[in-house]
Amino acid sequence: MTTQPHNAKPSNNMALIDRLPETRGKLRENVPLAPLTWFRVGGPAEVLFRPADTQDLADFLKNCPADIPLTVIGATSNLLVRDGGIPGVVIRLGGEFAKTELRDDGIIYAGAAALDVSVAKFAAANSRAGLAFLSGIPGAVGGGLTMNAGAYGGEFKDVLLYADAVGRDGTSLKLSPEDLEMRYRHSTVPEGAVFTGAAFKTTEGNKAEILAAMEEIKNKREESQPIREKTGGSTFANPFRDNPDCDKHAWQLVDAAGCRGLKVGGAQISEKHCNFMINTGNATASDIETLGETVRARVLEQSGITLRWEIRRIGVPLTE
């Protein structure tokens, strides 16, 4: 792998990295992504870009050739990278994008790379109520915005004032929950836009009570979810939120279809919570995705309900 600045000199014969614009951040070729993902599977990024700051990101997006695919990844808690890796440029934020601050009127502003649990802890430390549920979401702010993540009675749309993003043309965007059309596990993100941060509304609260609520969430997760395994977040969205004719949680449908503990290669449906898939040690991304599709087929056959993937699957399969 290499790390170096680059000047764009477009040529069909050039390596991808040599076609990219100059940046103050880091560009590396053929970067393994499996160590970055919670599942610990998947192929490499053709090029991984870590922008230095928002302006660096904006300049890169503006000057990056339009034919080069761009993919944004975050904490990767709800992500499956296929075994062939991700072509083009993979953007991953860090550094200043992980900062959180308290602003006037009790507004908490968090960078897109800030972990949800860190934002919840920051709010608690400042006696600000309303964000405790974030401690139960295993991811970062950018991913939460992208899918309107939620847990334990709260969703991003409930507390979001606005999100900041950079468009594919390098322009600054400020997006409200209405702009994003946020609903259950869904947001409509402008094509090519990259979230950089978000402002959350809070109320004055009692620190001890907030911490107690977060401790209760932590205990519930440990009791009910395989959080110490190589896993992702919830595999499938709860269908009753999309389908008024269904009153079941996803895990109930998976269980009723006889899929608890089901295995494909090194991938397994968790015995502890059957809306979670785990890598038992030697799974490939193909094993995990095939397992998920097998479960969807069995649930459809058994109940007539088509489960919707909540885990984001990206990249290309490994070619033979």
Active site residues per annotation: 185, 234, 310
Check: CB of residue 141 under 8 Å from CB of residue 159: no
Q: What amino acid occupies position 269?
A: I
Question: What does the block give as tokens for 43?
Answer: 């192929």
Strand 86-92 to 44-50 pairing: parallel
Residues ≥6 apart with Cβ < 8 Å to 177: 157, 160
Q: For tokens 């900062």, what's the residue?
A: 99
The answer to whether 138 touches 233, Cβ cutoff 8 Å, is yes
Decide the pairing of beta strands 70-73 and 263-264. unpaired
- What lies within 8 Å, CB to CB, of 219 at 6+ separation is none
